[in-house]
Every structure is written in structure tokens, then in C-alpha cells.
Structure 1
Amino acid sequence: MAGGIFTSNSTQQWLRQLMPRPQDGMETVAGVTLRVIASAASDGTKVVALTPNEAALLQAGMPGLRVVPERRYLPARAPRLRALRKPAVKAAEPPQTLTLRVTAGEGQHAKPLPDCVVVVLTDVATGTGVEGTSNARGEVRLRLPATLRQAPIVAAYPLHGAWAREWRNLPLQAGMAIALPALELGFADARRVLYEAPKGDEGGGVKVAVIDTGVGPHADLRVAIGRNTTLVEPVDQWHDEDGHGTHVAGVIGGHGATGQGVSGEAAQVRLHAYRVFERGEGGASNAAIREAIRQAVLDGCDILNMSLGGGDSDPAISEAIQFARLSGAVCVVAAGNEGGPVSFPANDPLSLAVAAVGIKGAWPKGAAQQRHLTQPPGKHDSFVARFSNRGPQIRQAAPGVGIISTIHRDRYGVMDGTSMASPVAAGVLARVLASTPEVLNSPRDARRSEAILELAARRAEDLGFPATMQGKGLAR
């Protein structure tokens, strides 16, 4: 078990002397032999390798320490179809290799689409099927049962350049093309329907932290400070390799520098990027998230966006959120995408939890966003996204279905999730804060944080949904 050690003031200096060691480097503390894996710069917190029994002995031997198990959290993307198990292979019927071509657009305007995940399900009930990612030529090779001539479901989820699409009972042929609606940056997505086009001069003087998979590079994004806070990677490796964090950042502070680019809700904010997801790891450690929150506060951020969550509640992250609130900053957090109770850290009582809504028809014909539609409709022909978590912790709602934004390496893509709703709310709040100097320039303490939250609540618009689905309403 990896553990984060949190200390009382009396032992903090001693802890700072413990430094990460090579693989075979060990320390003996209170009779317990351990290896220090990483050390947080903000307060000297350590990540150590311990068994549960060793953790109990260490806690008992040093009452001034707190030992917290490591937990992992994921980006708050909306759920999508996945191949959970592979089809059974019969010896007498070797599988066929089927090559599909994925394009953005149709006919003479069709362009090969790389980086698109294609899922073919042969049994929907069990999630049996295969999936693969298209190459630079837009081709994806899939090994399917030899007798399969029609797939119950085929789905294509592009990272950039097009809208996702799903087909039912699709006939399969070698070399066939599957065409997705091409992404047009001028398309009026749910964000543009609910809000006027950003003026481009809003948000000045406000610092917003994006605690995520990294940010950029992208011509539409200016990052004032970037840090890798995973504690196990170089601090200057904060750029994005996933797309999620860059998308989030564009929603908040994109400034459309490419001429036909994407503008965020507060283009003049000072963006800070804190990468908490390690390369090759499935999730972000609570130690990394805690360090990002603390470092963002120390860097002077006013609003911290966290489009992540899903794990058990964690005292390390909760302590950092409290530190932010006591320091005049607000954590805006995605509510989660399981269609159930609000996930952690959004359900922390000091977080501003954001649910996702959509606008009916704010996507091209045939796009997969249709699957997130629910009834009854609310104001502006809105709906609560099927995936959006709900509960008494919800403070606000914002558009999170079919949101167009930036993807690293100067690309653009569409994403769904409370991951997208959270940065919309954060960007809207940033521009409101920038226009309220008496709050922006007030002392950085808990009263300032409460004043920022009051701004958000006072301006929210009731969409007609229960408070457990929208809180005070749409972020305005």
C-alpha cells in the first residue's frame, strides 16, 4: 500500500528531512522500514510504500503523523460504449480481420479521421465485442467472428475533428467507410445556445487553475504557470497527452488566436495548468491532487477547476479543499457521470459541485449526444444529462453535452460530461469575479471564498429542475 503521511506542525521539520530514495533505498521510522517514493514541495507530505500492517505500526508509533491510503481518481467524462470482453473463438472458425475506414464528413468532403475509437459489439447485453483506434489514414483493424455479417452496435468516438456517432444493426463489409459528422467550429453547441458569444475581453485579473491531464500546447491557450504535481514526474512535464485537460482549459480561457478558434467563457483569465495524471497510469493519485490544490492556492489562484473524481472520499484532498477555502479560493468540481449520487471530491461540503445539462438538438443529425437526452424539458429547451450525478450537494448546473473546445496540438474536439459543465461554471464565475473588484481585491480568507460563492448563487438561473439536479440553477 502507498500512503501519504500528513503531519502536525511539531513533526513537519523532521518529515522534510525524509527524501525519496532509489528503488532499494529504505528508511527506518519508529521501528518500521519504509521507502519514500515522493515528496510534495508545498508542505513536505511524503508518499511511501507500506503494507497495511506497517502503516498501522507506524501510526501507533508516531501519533503526530497521519497516514492516508493512496486513492486514484479519473477524469469526469461521460460514459460511452466499451467492449468489455472479447468474442469467443471457435477452432473451426478462425476470426476475420475487418478493416474499417473512419472519415469526418461524407462524399467529396470526407477526410480520413485518426485517433478515433471504434467499438463493435457482438452482444450488447454482455458487452462482448472488440475496439480499436484509427491510425493516421483513418483505418482501424478489428478481429471479429468469421460469421458476423451485421453488428448489433457500432460506435465511433473521435478525439478531434468530428462528432461521435453510434449505429444499430450495421451491415459489415471489408474496407467499408463509416462517416461521422465533421466538426465545424461555428456550430452552435449547448454552450453557445445558452450564452452569448464571449466578448474576448472578460476575466482579466482572475487566476484559474486547471487540475487535470495537463494543458496544450495549443495556439488558443496561454498558460501563465504550468506544473506537474504527480510527485513522480519532472515538474516541467505539464503538457497534455490525453486531450481532456486541454478541452477543459479551452472552455474556461480559450481566446481564439487561430482566427477560427474557440473562445472560452473568460478569455483574459490567467490560466494555471496542474497535471495530476501520470503517463501510463489509469488515474490521478490523491497525493497529486492534494499537491495541485495546495500549489494552486500558493500560486494565487482564485478558482480551481477539478473535472475529475469517482473514488472514495479522501481526507488528504478534503484537507486541501479546506486550505483553499480558508485562503480565499473556491474549488469548482464536476459532479460525476454515473447517473447516481454526487461523487467525491464534488460531494465535499466545501466544493462547488456542478451538474451537466444539455440543449435538445444542439448537435448534428445522427450524433451520439442524442443518447444523453432526458425528459421533462426545462427552460431554454434544456434537459438534465442522463449521465449527470445528482444530490443535495449540487450547487449549480452548466452545459456538458456536446461541448466544442480545444484539443492539444492545435486541434478541436467535442466532449460530454460533468467534466465540461464544471469549466463552463468556472469560466462564468471567473468573468463575474473579474467584474466585481470589491470581492476580487478583498483579503484572501474564508470570507472572500464565501463572497465568491454568493456571487455564483445570486446570479444562477432556475431552469425548472429539482435542486438535486441543478442546485440554484444554470451558472450565469
Structure 2
Amino acid sequence: MPKTPHGAGEQPGQPPDGPADTRSGADESASMRAGGRAVAERKKKYLVAPRPLPAAAGFLTPAALMPSMAAPLSLSSVQQALQGLGDIDIVDTVGGRAGVATASFGAGAALGGPAFGGQDGGVLVARMTDQKARELHQRGQGRLIVERDQHLQLLDPMLRRPDLVSSLTPYTGPAVDVVVAVLGKDGAPLADAEVSLFGGLLPSTAVTGPDGSARLRLYGEDTHTISGLYVKPRADYWSFYQRDPDLSADQANLVTLRALADWPALRDLPRQNALGWGARAMRLDQVPQPFRGQGIRIAVIDSGVATSHGNLNRIRSGFDVINKAADPNTWNTDTLGHGSHCAGVIGAADPSWGIRGFAPDAEIHVCKLFPGGQISQLIDALEYCIENQIDVVNLSLGGSAPSEALERQIVRAKQAGVACIAAAGNSGGPVQYPASSPHVLAVAAIGKADEFPPDSYHTETLGQDIDMQGFFTARFSCAGPQVDVCAPGVAIVSSVPPNNFAAWDGTSMAAPHVTGLAALVLAHRPEFQGVLRARSAERVERLFQVLRLSARPVTLGDPAHVGYGMPDALVALGLSMLPGQQVGQWQLPATAAAMASSLMAGDANGIRYPGGFAGLQGASMQSVSGMPGFACGLGLGGMHPSGW
């Protein structure tokens, strides 16, 4: 069946996500009498792909679905079967175009071995109801991946969806109105700043208008019960936070923000080129000038990149995955600013203006996935990376649970020599997927106490493990044995649209530091120009090993929060050594040696299992060349307001 655009496949008169379930004649008659139609479940997008399993696993042949099952399932046979079942609309096929085989997850399959059941990794995207999906999964008898095409997230909503039906808003009683006026440099009103008040009940949020003022109302409160005032500018200024603010309900409350350019380390930004504190902490300032990432291709899978920015106007290549049916060339529009911020950390390029990135001479490709991205579209973006021979991918995105279909694509990318570096997550809980995958490098976030104003909201990220140098674990950063390394992710100044700068927090900001360093390692470390020049999974694994073992201990936190530590650019490039290392020999840093057992806990083969995956029993539980067996997992969650 030919491909149709995302969102296509509906017939006239149907709701956007597909037709409703069939109702009884009585329901239909009642609906007609009422002048409408009965509400029913809409169709949602599901991912469907063959999943052949070893015969020893005891899975039955799904003859009810596929009459001729002597041969392994192919994607085309699955597609034909779906078309014959009825009430399922196939809207797209993603992955599998680049001719890279997907390795088996079972016993006896090497990483570069035979394809996953003879398949090339293609995945069908089909619209169906949840009931139809359950029926399909049952008919598949374990031979099919059937999972929701979950939405990916960059940001957490300020107001979360409630867990139950209740109300925290009083019907009557006191309410307080507060006007906050936000001023910028020289006392000028600052528009478009987000102002939030926090009290005992629901928070109140507003955005400043052209006069710099915002009016907020809190119900059931008075000015003495307000516990916090938070002001977040759109760009060029530091945020502001005041605990237990002394506010007036009778006159405007003035907040004057500090300009980024007034901070000593960013003096005169952007008129002269500056290096962020994170890059300096990783010793990028001591790397020789010729080391600029020449010849390496980096993909930023994110919200697009604003090439209107002076630091990003050298970026020439990209793919709008969300809008691919209408115009795939709109990747250079970034309505969220998140992708532009990440791209700036990686490769901002201007010798005399703005912020300098890690690899300014690398070739950056942009895959626009947000707002609205789903797993199927991330699979499509990774296929673009395979086809275009991308070396390193930055994934500042994620969620709470794995996807088997996405995991297969990550494996295919790794086999093609594509190294995926992912943000660990900002929920403060367990490492989120895909950072929890054993085939990516997971990056947690740290901060440094003297790198932001004490009255900024960045102060709220301080953990309790500050070391002698001021490094601390960011309170929002996810933790767990899957964390490989940590990197600066608090008060990171980088580029935002249209041609401005902003200081943001998040593991989203930490991952690009490591992505940029990975590009330098591939471009300038001699072994990657010799025996490991060829694109392969072994090349990816060695890159990850170099980054882990270049890390130095930071913070007083446990390894679950920082992994091996913060990568050191000079050590990773082979220009210096860590204490305890010998020339020509890699040795574990002290903290890394101490944490080795906990990193690999629960897996005698030394393989990290992502949270939510379960190894198959028996022979398929064995791992060969780093490939464990997986079971299916569903669901993706949200992100931190300042960007993940």
C-alpha cells in the first residue's frame, strides 16, 4: 500500500484520528434523534512490525493471522494481513530504507550478524482503536510488535493534568490580585517575560505585556501566604526567583532583571565571542585551535534550528520530519528555541560574536521533531541519520518507558556507525528512555555554584553534594545505573531565536556538551582516523568508552547521579592524562572503579538493560556482542519547563 502523509487515511466526515467504533442500532437511533452521533473511541496511531522469536521460546505460529507461516514474517506479509483484517488504516512506513540489517536480540546473534528475522527494520504506522490493537497483539502470538505510537516530549506543562476529579479553586472567599512589573536594562519595560506566583493552592502564571507588567490572581490567598515569585525572561536576561516575597496588592511590584552580558564571564555578550562555563569546565578552552570537528557530521533531533541566528547561520542541511509530506525543508524554523539552544552548545560558529560551540567546523544536520513528535517520527529521523552517514546524534528528548520498535532502530543506527547521545531526563527519578537504552550514551546534569546570580531560579537546582570546586548534582537530573557521564546542565547560555541568547537548565543542555566533544574525538583522536575510521558498531562502542574513561570525578554525589564523572576534553583527545593513567594505557578513574559493580548490577554479562525491558527467559536471555533480549514496553513522559 502506498504511503500517505501523517494524519492522512481519514475519509470525509470522519474525525481527524479516524472513524468511531460501531455502535448498536439503539445508540445510533438515539443519536439521530438528538441531532448528532454517539461518542466513541477514536483511532490512534500504532507501530506494527514483525518480531520473529527463536523456536525454543515456545511461541505458536499465528495461523489465524498469517495462514502461511513456514517462512519468517516479512513486513509486506504483515501489511497484507492488516489490510485484510479491516478497520485498520496503514498511514506510513518508517525505517528500513537504508539497507542496514537489524541484529537479533536472541541468543547466538552477533551485533553485526544476520538480520532480525530477515527484516530490514521497517515499521508500519497504522491507525486503529485500542481494542483492535489488543486483538492484533493476541493474533500475533508474540510474533508482532504492536505498540502505541507514543508522543515524545521536550517540556513539562506548567500545570499537570490532575489525577482525579476535584477542585482546589474556592467557590467564594478571598482572592489576591498582584501586579508585577518586569524591567530590563536601564529600567526599560521587558515584554514577554513569564511571571509565576506560588502559594498554598494552585499557582498563577501570566506573561508581561508591552508595558512590562503582568496581573496575576491567586484564590484563597493573601500576599502573606505567597511562597514564591518566579520571573523567566524570553532571552538575554537571567531569571529571577524570590522565596517568600514581600508583595503589595495596592501597587505594582517591580522586578529588575540582570542582563546576561553584565555577568563577568559573559562580559559584552554578544559583541565579543565567549565560551560558556560548561565548555571551560570540560577544558575546551585548552584544546588547540585547529581542533574544530572538521569532517564530522552531527544530527540534532529536536525542535528545529533558527538559521537566522548569527551563531547558527552556517547550518545548511536538515529534514522536517513532522511536516515531511507538505514541506520537509522547514527545519530551519524553531518556534520553541530548544533545538537552537542545543545546536549552539554543539557547534555555534563565529570567531568574534556570540557563544563558541565545541565543534564549530562540524557539519550539522537538523531533524525537526517538535512540537508534536512521536516515536514513529523519531524512527524516521534516525533513518535520515543512517542514510546521510551521520556520526553523532544528539537526543535531548525522552520519556519514561521504552519502545521496542525504537530500540530496533537505535540498534540499526549503531550498526551503521551512528552514535546516539541522550539526555537522562529532568524528572529527578529513574533515567528515562531512550537514555536508558544500553546502545546510547546517557548524560546527567551538574551545575557549578558560582556560575549564575544568587537571585536567579538556577539556585533552586542546587543539590546537597557540592564539592570543593563548586560542582553539584542538579536536583532535576534523573539518576540510575544507566548514567554514563555527567555534563554541565545548569545556567547554560546558548543561542535562541531569532538572534538572541538565553540561560537554560536541563539534561537537554548537558547532552550537547558531550555530543560536541564526541565530534572532536572522532575528528581528531588518531585511532578514529586509522583502524576505527570505518563506520561500525565497534567504532561507536570505542567512542563511548573514550568518553567514559576521560571523565574526572565531580560533586560528592554517588555514581548513579554522575556516572563516570564529567568528560575532560584534553584527556578524551589524547592530549593529557587523568591521575592514575599511564601513557598508552587507559585506567579507570578511582570513582569509576568503585562504581563498576553497581553500574552492571543485575547483569552478569555486563549489559545495561533499560528500565521497562525484560530479558527473555532461557537461551534468549544470553547476550552476545552487547545485544540482550528485550520484551516490549510502552509510554513516554514529559520534560522540565526550562527545556529538556
Task: Flag whether TM exceeds 0.5 (same fold).
Answer: yes
Q: Residue 458 of structure 1 corresponds to which residue in structure 2?
A: 549
Q: Residue 561 of structure 2 corresponds to which residue in structure 1?
A: 469
AA of the residue aligned to 1:240? D
Q: Residue 187 of structure 2 corresponds to which residue in structure 1?
A: 110
Which protein has the larger Cα radius of gyration, Structure 1 or Structure 2? 2
Q: How does 1:152-191 map to 2 (within 5 A)?
A: 152-170=227-245, 171-173=247-249, 174-184=251-261, 186-187=265-266, 190-191=277-278
- After superposition, the Cα gap between the structure-2 partners of 1:58 and 1:91, relative to the gap in structure 1 and judged at 3 Å, is closer
- After superposition, the Cα gap between the structure-2 partners of 1:15 and 1:439, relative to the gap in structure 1 and judged at 3 Å, is farther
Mean alpha-carbon deviation: is it higher for 322-331 or for 182-191?
Answer: 182-191
AA of the residue aligned to 1:273? V
- After superposition, the Cα gap between the structure-2 partners of 1:117 and 1:433, relative to the gap in structure 1 and judged at 3 Å, is same
Structure 1-normalised TM-score? 0.86
Q: For 1:23-56, what per-residue CA distance to the aligned partner results, in whole angstroms no more than 9, with x for missing partners?
A: xxxx971322222344437646332221122123
- The question of whether the paired residues in 1 share the 8 Å contact of 2:95 and 2:409 is answered with no
Identity %: 26
Residue 220 of structure 1 deviates from its aligned partner by 0.6
Secondary structure of 1:378's match?
coil
Residue 437 of structure 1 deviates from its aligned partner by 4.8
Give the Cα–Cα distance (whole angstroms) in 2 for the partners of residues 437 and 42 of structure 1: 32
Give the Cα–Cα distance (whole angstroms) in 2 for the partners of residues 81 and 68 of structure 1: 28
For structure 1, the 5+ residue unaligned runs are 19-26
Give the Cα–Cα distance (whole angstroms) in 1 for the partners of residues 160 and 430 of structure 2: 25
Residue 445 of structure 1 deviates from its aligned partner by 1.4
- The question of whether the paired residues in 1 share the 8 Å contact of 2:276 and 2:355 is answered with no
1:206 aligns with 2:296: yes
Give the Cα–Cα distance (whole angstroms) in 1 for the partners of residues 482 and 221 of structure 2: 50
Of the three residues 293, 310, 334, the one matched with 1:219 is 310
Residue 377 of structure 1 deviates from its aligned partner by 2.5
- After superposition, the Cα gap between the structure-2 partners of 1:114 and 1:432, relative to the gap in structure 1 and judged at 3 Å, is farther
Give the Cα–Cα distance (whole angstroms) in 2 for the partners of residues 381 and 92 of structure 1: 47
Structure 2-normalised TM-score? 0.64
Mean alpha-carbon deviation: is it higher for 347-356 or for 305-314?
Answer: 305-314
Give the Cα–Cα distance (whole angstroms) in 2 for the partners of residues 227 and 323 of structure 1: 20
1:323 aligns with 2:412: yes
Secondary structure of 2:519's match?
helix
Q: Residue 129 of structure 2 corresponds to which residue in structure 1?
A: 51
- After superposition, the Cα gap between the structure-2 partners of 1:115 and 1:319, relative to the gap in structure 1 and judged at 3 Å, is farther
Q: Residue 23 of structure 1 corresponds to which residue in structure 2?
A: none
Q: How does 1:232-271 map to 2 (within 5 A)?
A: 234-238=327-331, 239-256=333-350, 259-271=352-364
Give the Cα–Cα distance (whole angstroms) in 2 for the partners of residues 55 and 416 of structure 1: 39
Give the Cα–Cα distance (whole angstroms) in 1 for the partners of residues 157 and 447 of structure 2: 17
Give the Cα–Cα distance (whole angstroms) in 2 for the partners of residues 131 and 342 of structure 1: 30
- After superposition, the Cα gap between the structure-2 partners of 1:84 and 1:451, relative to the gap in structure 1 and judged at 3 Å, is closer
As a proportion of its length, which structure holds more strand?
1
Q: Residue 148 of structure 1 corresponds to which residue in structure 2?
A: 222
Give the Cα–Cα distance (whole angstroms) in 2 for the partners of residues 344 and 353 of structure 1: 10
Q: For 1:122-141, what per-residue CA distance to the aligned partner results, in whole angstroms no more than 9, with x for missing partners?
A: 31xx4x12102223443323
Q: Residue 345 of structure 1 corresponds to which residue in structure 2?
A: 434
Residue 335 of structure 1 deviates from its aligned partner by 0.7
Q: Residue 29 of structure 2 corresponds to which residue in structure 1?
A: none
Give the Cα–Cα distance (whole angstroms) in 1 for the partners of residues 74 and 369 of structure 2: 27
Q: How does 1:347-362 map to 2 (within 5 A)?
A: 347-362=436-451
Q: How does 1:432-451 map to 2 (within 5 A)?
A: 432-439=521-528, 442-451=533-542
Of the three residues 288, 311, 317, the one matched with 2:377 is 288
- The question of whether the paired residues in 1 share the 8 Å contact of 2:184 and 2:256 is answered with yes
- After superposition, the Cα gap between the structure-2 partners of 1:391 and 1:350, relative to the gap in structure 1 and judged at 3 Å, is same
- The question of whether the paired residues in 2 share the 8 Å contact of 1:373 and 1:386 is answered with yes
Give the Cα–Cα distance (whole angstroms) in 2 for the partners of residues 102 and 200 of structure 1: 44
AA of the residue aligned to 1:210? V
Residue 425 of structure 1 deviates from its aligned partner by 0.8
Secondary structure of 1:309's match?
coil
Give the Cα–Cα distance (whole angstroms) in 1 for the partners of residues 173 and 547 of structure 2: 64
- After superposition, the Cα gap between the structure-2 partners of 1:83 and 1:40, relative to the gap in structure 1 and judged at 3 Å, is closer
Give the Cα–Cα distance (whole angstroms) in 1 for the partners of residues 396 and 184 of structure 2: 28
1:391 aligns with 2:480: yes
Residue 409 of structure 1 deviates from its aligned partner by 0.6
- After superposition, the Cα gap between the structure-2 partners of 1:376 and 1:146, relative to the gap in structure 1 and judged at 3 Å, is closer
- The question of whether the paired residues in 1 share the 8 Å contact of 2:450 and 2:470 is answered with no
For structure 2, the 5+ residue unaligned runs are 1-43, 52-71, 98-121, 267-274, 569-644
AA of the residue aligned to 2:126? V
1:100 aligns with 2:100: no
Secondary structure of 1:148's match?
coil
Mean alpha-carbon deviation: is it higher for 370-379 or for 55-64?
Answer: 55-64
Residue 245 of structure 1 deviates from its aligned partner by 1.0
Secondary structure of 1:54's match?
helix
Give the Cα–Cα distance (whole angstroms) in 2 for the partners of residues 244 and 313 of structure 1: 23
Residue 113 of structure 1 deviates from its aligned partner by 2.6
AA of the residue aligned to 2:292? E
Give the Cα–Cα distance (whole angstroms) in 2 for the partners of residues 305 and 255 of structure 1: 18
Residue 294 of structure 1 deviates from its aligned partner by 2.1
